[in-house]
Amino acid sequence: MEQKAYQFTGVLEHDENALMQLFANCADIKKKEMCIGQHQEIRCFLIYIEITLSSVMLRTTALGNYLAKLSVMPKEAIYRSLAENGQGLSDVVLYDDAREAAQGLLTGDAILLIDGFARAMKIPDKGYPGAAVRDTESEKVLRGSNEGFHENVKINTALMRKRLQTTNLKVEEMSLGVRTNTLVNIVYMEGIAKEELVAQVKERLSDFLIDGILDSGMAEQLTEETWLSPFPQIQTTLRPDRAVMAVLDGKVVVLCNNSPSALIMPADYNSFIQTSDDYYQRPMVASFGRLLRYVASFLAVSMPGLYLAVTNFQTGILPTTLLLSFAAARQGVPFPAVIEVLLMELSFELLREAGVRLPGAMGNTIGIVGGLIIGQAAVDANIVSPIVVIVVAFTALCSFSIPSEEFAGAFRLLKFFVILMSAWLGFFGFLWAMFAILIHLALLKSYGHPYLVPFIALKGDGETRHKDSLVRFPLSRLIYRSVHAKEKQKRRFRRKETDRNE
């Protein structure tokens, strides 16, 4: 009985009530009664969400043109045109059930009910309001496109399709969230991405029930293997070119509606260090920048702890002049070195958080001016020594050099673990903490792939390990794709002369 109550019958009053019953007490759902046909003898209802319909509907939109044509057609021709989509309107969808039509209405399109026609039509129009495609505010590059992802998943898919104009680029849709029904697109390259990886991504995305998915970050957390790890096991990007690079490498990209961040699966340490313009610049320049980022990632987690271990326990490894300089700088400081370091680290973290939360130029100002003022005032008041300010500031600089903010966040957290272990056990504690982090990274996996690929030897990944890890060889030498790609499609570069000889 319930199924029949929502079935469209062609009686306008019944069909309208069946649809509007689902939207009871929804003030933003609007309906407009109209008459169409050569003699205006056919009644119809247009149902839409407020703001999603163009105010100049009758002249400039597909919906307006469609209704204008129906208004001058004979009655019999109207029903024939509706059944066969005689006007050739793109993206029109016919629904037999009010619940299906309600889901179509919630996508931001209009629903047209016509007396005597036992189906509802979803007709595209302006849709939900959204920001225009804009440049990326993070993941800045020296060379290459600055175009960033949009909050509309359809636009994001089109931005990738613009860069990959091939029929092998596949886009599959899913809906996540019992109440939000958030549209999610799974993008991969057929023939390059492994079927088991695509199936695993789909399985994890469909393996949970939740009220709503409001951002890709929620889907990321629900599909990670090890939630206790501070390291992200799924890479995020705001750049379509970076997502296209991942797809060409055999990875899977997940785009979530209402989110400008794309998820790249699987992820590894090396991919978080790389940037898009690593492949746009000459190999020596790109390799130098990549080596700097690797060194920065090490120093971002180790430098404060190493300073404590050396100055508090293993002072003998320092030159006498440098040791005397450290001792003179600490004269009059009332706190132990570990308290100094923790105070300054927490101060810099607070300044960073304040800079992120404050709007625009004010955020940049508080980060720079606040750091200078607090650091200088703390030194003048003999609360901390100048060397600690230098160590903490250099550590912050190293963390800012890591391209991925989520990846850098893991080092900022683990930095406090290394500080505490070094303050407790000295150089042995420092080595123990660094060894524990290394073991954790070695055991960590992302969708079945080791996190330290390509540094962990894996069958079929020798090309990446030797030519696209710490340094980047010329593009003409990067002949093969990484281990994520299918074995038959590993080769991605060949010269035309070689191709003809083969």
Q: Tens digits of per-residue pLDDT, 413-428?
A: 999 999 999 999 999 9
Q: Taking the CA of residue 403 as centre, how many other CA atoms within 13 Å lie in the half-sphere pointing to its CB? A: 26
Q: Is 289 exposed, middle or buried (0-12, 13-18, 19+ CB in 10 A)?
A: buried
CA 83, 84, 89, 93 dihedral sign is: positive
- Confidence label for 22 from pLDDT (cuts 50, 70 and 90): confident
Q: Report the C-alpha dihedral over residues 139, 140, 146, 149, rounded to 10 degrees.
A: 20
Q: Using CA atoms, how far apart are residues 485 and 491, in angstroms rounded to an integer?
A: 9
User: What does pLDDT average to over the chain?
Assistant: 84
Whose CA is closest to 220, among 191, 171, 189, 259?
259
Over residues 257-283, mean pLDDT: 91
Least confident among 33-47, 290-304, 439-453, 457-471 = 457-471
56 pLDDT higher than 50? no
51-55, 90-94, 390-394 — which one is most confidently predicted on average? Answer: 390-394
pLDDT of residue 82: 77
E-state strands within 105-260: 110-114, 120-123, 169-176, 182-189, 235-237, 252-256
Distances in Å between the Cα of 30 and the Cα atoms of 105, 130, 396 are: 11, 20, 53
CA-based radius of gyration for the chain: 30
Mean pLDDT of 363-375: 68
Residue 179 carries which DSSP code?
T
Does the pLDDT at position 497 exceed 70?
Answer: no
Q: Cβ distance 258 to 214 under 8 Å?
A: yes
Top-confidence range, 96-110, 391-405, 429-443: 429-443
Q: How confident is the model at residue 267 (pLDDT cuts 50, 70, 90)?
A: very high
Q: Give the pLDDT of residue 367.
A: 65
The predicted pLDDT at position 445 comes to 92
| Dist CA 396 CA 123 (whole Å) | 53
